[in-house]
Structure 1
Amino acid sequence: HAAVVSDGSDCLCLSPECSLPDTLNSWFLIAQLHVWMCLVRMRQEGREGKFMCHYIVHSMWEDVDQRSKIMGIDAVQRKEAMKAMTETFYGAIFGYDEGILSDDCVLAAALWRNLFSRQCEDPRQLELMVEYVRKQMQFIDALDGEDLLLTGEVKWRPLLEENAQSILKVVSPTYNDTGL
């Protein structure tokens, strides 16, 4: 769910470990990474997962539009930015898919191109983000698909955590509808 994606990605965007500026574009680059992780997981859920993928992407674009309006970006600039972001999004999805199916070097290259916009000078930041993506994917792969489809919530793991083994502890979901 895009609202949950933005919750996790806002704190990551401001994280000094990432060294990304606090801009709409940085938020978008981080949001698209989290959206992609959700899409990978939802693709495993058949027809309902495919529907959820469309919903997640639609919600992300709605969120981008709302944030750009709040920031006072005029309609012409907003349209141009959305076009550029759309191209970026589909390129990033392809790169991240290739990265997750390959080794850490390929994933690091995808993160360098798409998240850091080819401007990461510190290899430790790339290494941290590769670990972050791998740990998030391991975590959301362990979540129950029906629960994900019902709640639409992913509680992202922190960027830095002392006990990474805690990712194996799955939090029980809370449902919005009475009786479920």
Structure 2
Amino acid sequence: MTETYVAYGATQHLFKECARHGDYEIPQALEKKGEIPADENGTHLGVGSGWWYDTLGLTPTFNVWAQISFIHMYMLQVRIRMFPATHAPIWTQHLTNHCFYAAEDRLVVWHKVTSSSLRQRYLKDLFSQWRGLLIAYDEGLVKGDAMLAAALWRNLLNAREDVDYQKLAEVVGYMRREIRRLDLASDDDVAKGSWTFGANPGTEAPSVLLQSMLMKEGENA
């Protein structure tokens, strides 16, 4: 009877750890008549810092924040699947719920989306991305680094052509390293809700398979 309350509190902290890596602000949203900056497609532009923005070169936007959060949520979910079968679904559902509560709050606070129906459309699209991402990252986890890199390229990097393949390889290495850390952790280590991810991507060399992919890409350039 009490597990759902324990899971709710712990996953709230776990999601905050997932979300902090891509956190951003839009200072103009806090001004009374502030005009939120946007690109040519109308996408709101924020201000953020950290490896994902400063080194990988991503733009602080709502969707990018979601994709960075999703990567970390995915790694946690892989570990939560190892919980006893009767417990894992509760934890997975609470972690997902916290993400969408936070996403809706972000739409209101930083993007001034006051229309409930419009927010629901954003969230519905975001949920579709999450479901598709789970399948794509699972496939990459099983079939190898090149497949995982392709999934990251489509989701995190929006299939852009000017991708830095070395940086992409660093994200793959980061995911492999952190999933391994979670694999070695006990259920209690995760269930306490105090789990933190390790060093930023780029601290480990890419796999041999991914190195060969990078070399081939360099030869074609």
TM-score, with structure 1 as normaliser: 0.82
Q: How does 1:101-112 map to 2 (within 5 A)?
A: 101-112=142-153
Match of 1:168 in 2: none
Between structure 1 and structure 2, the one with the greater Rg is: 2
1:159 to 200, 204, 209: 200
Q: After superposition, what is the alpha-carbon deviation per residue over 1:136-167, rounded to whole angstroms, capped at 9, x for unaligned?
A: 11111111112311x12321112146589xxx
1:126 and 2:168 matched: yes
Residue 49 of structure 1: how far off its partner (Å): 2.5
The amino acid across from 2:76 in the alignment is: C
Give the gaps of 5 or more residues in structure 2: 1-13, 24-48, 206-221
Which deviates more, 11-20 or 55-64? 11-20
What is the alpha-carbon distance in structure 1 between the residues aligned to residue 118 and residue 146 of structure 2? 36
Q: How does 1:80-91 map to 2 (within 5 A)?
A: 80-91=121-132
Which deviates more, 56-65 or 75-84? 75-84
Change (3 A) 1:163 1:33: closer
Match of 1:137 in 2: 179
Q: What percent identity do the matched residue pairs reach?
A: 23
Aligned CA RMSD, in angstroms, stands at: 2.0
1:29 and 2:71 matched: no
> Does the CA-based 8 Å contact 2:189-2:195 persist in structure 1?
no
Give the gaps of 5 or more residues in structure 1: 165-180
The amino acid across from 1:43 in the alignment is: R
The total of aligned residue pairs comes to 163
Match of 1:174 in 2: none
Secondary structure of the 1:101 match is helix
TM-score, with structure 2 as normaliser: 0.68
Change (3 A) 1:13 1:155: same
> Does the CA-based 8 Å contact 2:53-2:59 persist in structure 1?
no
